Amino acid sequence: MQLPYELILGWRYTRAGRATRRNGFISFISGVSMLGIALGVAALIIVLSVMNGFQKEVRDRMLGVVSHVEIFAPGGAALPNPTLTIEEARRIPQVIGAATFIAAQGLIARGEDMKGTIVRGIDPAREHEVTDLAGDSKTTGLDKLIPGEFNIVLGGELARALGVRMGEQVTLISPSGQVTPAGVVPRLKQMTVVGTFDSGHFEYDSALVMIHQEDAARIFRLEGPTGIRLKLKDLHQARDVAQQLANSLSGDLLIRDWTRQNRTWFAAVQLEKRMMFIILTLIVAVAAFNLVSTLVMTVTDKRADIAILRTLGASPKSIMGIFVVQGAMVGVIGTIGGLLLGLGIAFNIDVIVPALERALNASFLPKDIYLINRMPSDPQSTDIVPIAVISLVLAFVATLYPSWRASRVNPAEALRYE
């Protein structure tokens, strides 16, 4: 099968044709444009993949501690009828787990050290239904939370900050104290540390403590659980399920899905992702429009060739097609090279970054700042396909004007000085 001569000549011009100094320079400029497109595409893929991975990693670790949907009474009061509320929630097919809990705030003290904490009273027998953290209850010590023994499980970072170990005592201080003739006195309770957990999410590992639900009710003077936590088949349906619950549950209850917890953080990540896409797309655009200068120089150098082709019967459309093919080749090769480079780094970033950290003796992700301590990556086709399409479109658009100029070359004028 004979290829069209426009394609053959366009590919030959892309490779610079005759080995002259001028053609070598044009080839160099063409190579720079190709490299610029490749680096721009690769940078886009790597950055967006890392941002996707970062968001997914933090979300998954957060959901190891936070439930998909929470139902709670206003003002931190006890639920009026938790059993009925659970039955109504389980009627929704998406709900696969439910457990009651008590949420409160307090202080944990050991010696002179004191830390503010989020206190969660749980039912250890049902906690595994709503969080992955309870899946390994023997390691975390959740199975040792027995009512009446006032045991406590601390986040790993909190335990390290207090310098407390298994079996040692800490003091839980409730801010809602009891009234005495001397004034309001905070309630104190000695608790025995029976385990620690590390969810991988610094915010919860440094502030969350878990005790038995009945012990929490006694310490905080509550008549029962303050909320119900639900687990769903699909975490992405949390907002829709929350809306269904708001329409179906009886009583004055508040409903919050996981997307509303730390929602400012997720919104910030989405905004940063859009801005990075725009900024890095400009890099691809600059590289693509370098093709304009490359093709203009090529057209100037090939004026005699264009004139000869015209005298042999080539149409202006065919001449234009030759230079469109040349520019498109640069765009296609640059885009494919960028895709291979970007995906190669994105899929192996968990190996590349630790190697760089060891070589430079540096930590790119301090755990106390970025919540996680490793560089995640999650390449998604919804990002990669638009990147490739935009790169190819920009390269094609950049070829139109120089190619049109080539088709307008006057054969007699071009051959006058040849």
Do both 148 and 237 map to the same domain? Answer: yes
pLDDT tens profile 130-174: 887 765 555 677 888 888 888 999 988 888 888 888 888 998 888
Structure tokens at 242: 């929350």
CA of residue 15 relative to chain centroid, distance: 40
Do both 245 and 367 map to the same domain? Answer: no
Max CA-CA distance within the chain?
112
pLDDT at 17: 45
* Interior angle at CA 263, CA 258 and CA 267, nearest 5: 130
Q: Is the Cβ–Cβ distance between 101 and 76 less than 8 Å? A: no
Do both 53 and 76 map to the same domain? Answer: no
pLDDT at 180: 59
Do both 189 and 225 map to the same domain? Answer: yes
Distance (Å, whole) CA 256 – CA 68: 9
Distance (Å, whole) CA 37 – CA 335: 6
Distance (Å, whole) CA 206 – CA 159: 8
The residue ranking higher by pLDDT, 140 or 100, is 100
Q: Is the Cβ–Cβ distance between 181 and 234 less than 8 Å? A: no
**Last residue within a domain, chosen from 198, 231, 260:** 260
Decide: helix, strand or coil at residue 416: coil
Sequence-ordered list of residues with C-beta below 8 angstroms from that of 304, at least 6 positions apart, any chain: 414, 415, 418
Distance (Å, whole) CA 138 – CA 158: 19
Strands (E), 262-318: none
Parallel/antiparallel/unpaired status of strands 113-122 and 151-155: unpaired
pLDDT at 19 over 60: no
DSSP string, 68-103: SEEEE-GGGPPPS-HHHHHHHHHTSTTEEEEEEEEE
**Last residue within a domain, chosen from 245, 260, 275:** 260
CA neighbor of 241 nearest in space, from 251, 228, 252: 228
Do both 13 and 120 map to the same domain? Answer: no
Q: For residue 3, what pLDDT band results from cuts at 50, 70 and 90?
A: very low
Structural domain including 31 reads 5-61+265-415
**Domain count along the chain:** 2
Do both 195 and 336 map to the same domain? Answer: no
pLDDT at 339: 92
Q: What are phi and psi of 77, to 5 degrees?
A: -80, 165
Sequence-ordered list of residues with C-beta below 8 angstroms from that of 150, at least 6 positions apart, any chain: 189, 190, 191, 192, 211, 215
Do both 74 and 40 map to the same domain? Answer: no
Do both 203 and 104 map to the same domain? Answer: yes
Decide: helix, strand or coil at residue 64: coil
Q: Please state the rounded mean pLDDT for residues 388-392.
A: 88
Q: Please state the rounded mean pLDDT for residues 165-189.
A: 75
**Last residue within a domain, chosen from 239, 260, 281:** 260
pLDDT tens profile 391-403: 888 888 888 877 7
pLDDT at 4: 59
Q: Is the Cβ–Cβ distance between 191 and 150 less than 8 Å? A: yes
Q: In Å, how far are 59, 198, 226, 235, 274 from 91, measured between CA atoms?
A: 27, 33, 21, 17, 39
Q: Please state the rounded mean pLDDT for residues 301-318.
A: 72
Do both 319 and 216 map to the same domain? Answer: no
pLDDT at 20 over 50: no
Instruction: Please report, as a single letter, which amino acid is at residue 279.
Output: I
Structure tokens at 231: 């687990």
Do both 292 and 244 map to the same domain? Answer: no
First to last CA, the chain: 35
Distance (Å, whole) CA 136 – CA 195: 12
Do both 134 and 168 map to the same domain? Answer: yes
Do both 372 and 233 map to the same domain? Answer: no
pLDDT at 237: 85
Q: Please state the rounded mean pLDDT for residues 224-230.
A: 88
Q: For residue 63, what pLDDT band results from cuts at 50, 70 and 90?
A: confident
Decide: helix, strand or coil at residue 122: strand
* Interior angle at CA 167, CA 163 and CA 170, nearest 5: 55
